[in-house]
Structure 1
Amino acid sequence: MARMIRLAILAFALFGALAQTTVAVTTHVVGDSTGWVVPPSDDPLFYAVWAAKQTFFIGDILLFNFTTGSQDVARVSKEAFFLCNSTNPIFLEKTGPAKITLNSTGEFYFIGTFDNNCFKGQRLAINVTTSPGPTPSPTPRTKPENFTVGDELGWVVPPLGEIAYITWAYNKTFIVGDHLVFNFHNKTDDVAVVSKEAYDSCNTSTPMALYNSSPAVINLTRTGEHYFTSTYDYRCDLGQKLAINVTGSSTGSTPPSGYGSSPSPSTAKPPASSQASGPGTGSPVAPGPSNAAPNSRISGGYMFIVLLPMAMGFLH
């Protein structure tokens, strides 16, 4: 009887310790009901949007649902992710569904290696953190900054298609008052501010505003989604298009020193909902800081592993 009482007390203490140290492992079903496939409409932001709604911690599991033989999942480096290069993956899972445990902190990159699936949007980037505790919010910017679209590439038909400008905008923070600097060759290109519908369909017949003098400096005057492309033949279809989201506001929206305010011709006066104010001219500047990628939750079976042998020794 005494032995049973002692066992009950020990079990209570053991589970009490586990209750304080254990957080359940979370299994993240990649893409939810869609699974791990080429996204609907080849949407290059599909998995980025999915990941933005998740939090990832050490011990969590990614579940990739796909059909064996027609899909796979490769973990790759950051460089390979952006180039859709599956030549030397860190590892490759060919059998679906595939479960991948997040066993370290930092960035993880995954792509599909079949055909051109990666270029069509079958790619996922996440960030894993160590603790389920509250994550400090970054100090919001209060001063506007300048972002040179495409950096050294500039505003051109990108060699890798639309993914080039998606990659450029990835993890950047844009706030009201920031400026986008578009560098291009005069008389061979332009920048059109368009609606989401026009962006998706590459219909540039009625842009909200049009800038044809380089460099075009566009002031971001409102929060929300902003869409840009070129009106020159086939440029949009070939990937010369940029979509960004503007959040928050700055202390002012006056162009930084070195930028003029001479207007470029436009096809229409931008409505109140348009993201563009007057363009300017000036030298390109380095892009500003970027946001941290999404993070997540941890498991804690370690104390159980440690306490169980101690309990067995105590009983014997």
Structure 2
Amino acid sequence: MAFNVTSSYTIRRTRRKNQQKRSSPRIQQGRPHLQEHIAMSRNLLLVLFAVATFLHGSEAQTRHVVGDATGWIIPPGGAATYTTWASNKTFTVGDTLVFNFTTGQHDVAKVTKSAYDACNGGNAVLTLTSGPATVTLNETGEQYYICSFGSHCSGGQKLAINVNRASSSTPSPAPEAQAPAPKATSPISPPRSTPAPGPSSGSVTYTVGETAGWIVPGNASFYPAWASAKNFKVGDILVFNYPSNAHNVEEVTKANYDSCSSASPIATFTTPPARVPLSKSGEHYYICGIPGHCLGGQKLSINVTGGSTATAPTTPSSPSPSGAVSPPPQNSAAASLGLVGVSATLLSVAAAFFYYSIY
């Protein structure tokens, strides 16, 4: 009986050892496989972390379109236009400024503070003549930009900004700009509206250029497009809105209109807003006598027909002039959101890969 018990115990022990020997290789073979997956997952996480860090650095650089949709023009609101625009921005090293303007009508000159205050572009640090122009902010401190064309800077086409270090998050107030303001010079679409009622039931008062006013529009089709939708009659009134000393209104002959000559004008109006009554039928021609403004498109030709009627003419939608400056590129905030989304997606993929590699 003792022999049988001992034999049974010996048999069971032998079987257990054999089972351990058979299972041990599988466990030992599985461990390197698991370690290999963990190592691969760790490397992938490191790579994706580096990519996310790079994208975050790219996200920090902002693209500022100067004036936003207004562009780089002689602003109707004067120098305060660009001062107000800059006051809401934070400029850091690595950011870019985009100046949208029509080539040949404006330029961008980077100048010293004294030249900025005096509107002197003669000794510019940098001059860009082709629009749109892109300027990379590669140094900290105050930076000054003007348009060196004629009296454009004096009319408010000037920008002062303060550039912070890349790590700074404090908004940068723009230095105070000084100068009165003429009107815009960038091509814009003719406004669409009905003329305001005239002083009497039989006449109509037309505001030339509507809300844009009497400006250097940047292309010659702006005012013809505006006038083409109007029905001018004797007794109507034209109103020219512009800043004092920035423009004037001269009624001229057709020959002088075609050649942009202000020699011997029929009438001259220098005080804004200029109200010009249409007292006779036929063709009437108006230009701005400030040098270069007529050549920039600040000219108006209209045809006046017989007496006014009791009903004011309606104004269909005006066609947009060709050659207008294209709209500014997409806001940098949208690009930043896209980069954040890409980073989140990459990290999610890495986490999923790590999980399934182990389990």
Relative to the length of structure 1, the TM-score reads 0.40
Relative to the length of structure 2, the TM-score reads 0.36
| Structure having the larger proportion of residues in helix | 2
Higher relative contact order (CA 8 A, sep 6+): 1
Q: Which structure: larger Rg?
A: 2
